[in-house]
Amino acid sequence: MRPRAVLFIYGEGGHRAQMKRLYARLAPRMEEKGLVAVGICENGDELDGFVNYSQRGMRDKHSHLKSYILLPVRLIHSFLILVQLVVSYRIEGVISTGPGIAIVPSIALKLLGARIVFIESWSRFETTSMTGRVMYRVADRFYIQNRSLQSHYPDAIYGGLL
C-alpha cells in the first residue's frame, strides 16, 4: 500500500526558510498521525529529513523573456514529478509557502482529493504575490502571516509569523 503523505512545495531562499520553520513544527504532529513527508523544491535547494523532487523555478529572476521561453518545459517537468509522486504515495495534503511551482501540483492534487494549504509569504504586508492570488482560489485553507493582508485576502486565516 502507498504510504499516506503530505507534499511540501517550496522555492529557494525565503520560501525554503519559511518551510524549514514550518516543517519543524509539523513533523512531530505528522508522525503521530502516521503521515510521511515528501517535497518538491526549487533548483536543488532542498530541506533535510524527507525525499525531495527538485525542479527549476517557473520564472527567471532576472529575465522575463527566459521565463516565457522555458515555461512549457517547466510545466512538463512539473507534471512528470507529479506522476512519480502519485504512483509512490497517497497524497492527503499539499502545503506550500510558494512560489509558482506550487500551482500546478496543487490544482492537480486537489482534483485527486488532497487538501490544499497555502501560507502567503512573510514578506507581504500591503501587496499580494501572483502565486498568492492564484492559490487563494485553489487552497482549502489560506493563511497569512501579517494581519495587514486581511483586507487583501478576506477569507484568509491569520496564523502568526513563521
Q: Cell for 48?
A: 533535510
Residue with Cβ nearer another protein (13 or 79)? 13
> Diameter of the chain by CA atoms?
46
Among the listed ranges 56-64, 72-80, 82-90, 101-109, the one in contact with another protein (CB under 8 A) is: 56-64
- Containing 130, the helix (H) or strand (E) segment is helix 130-138
Rounded Cα gap, residues 2 and 124, in angstroms: 37
| 137 makes contact with another protein (CB under 8 A) | no
Q: Which positions from 105 through 124 interact with another protein, judged by CB under 8 A? A: 115, 117, 121-124
Q: Does 86 bind another protein (CB under 8 A)?
A: no
Binding flag, residue 48, another protein (CB under 8 A): no
Q: Which one of residues 48, 111, 113, 126 is an interface residue with another protein (CB under 8 A)?
A: 126
Residue 102: exposure state from Cβ atoms within 10 A (0-12, 13-18, ≥19) = buried
Q: Nearest approach, Cβ of 109 to another protein (angstroms)?
A: 12
Q: Evaluate whether 106 touches 74 at the Cβ level (below 8 Å).
A: no
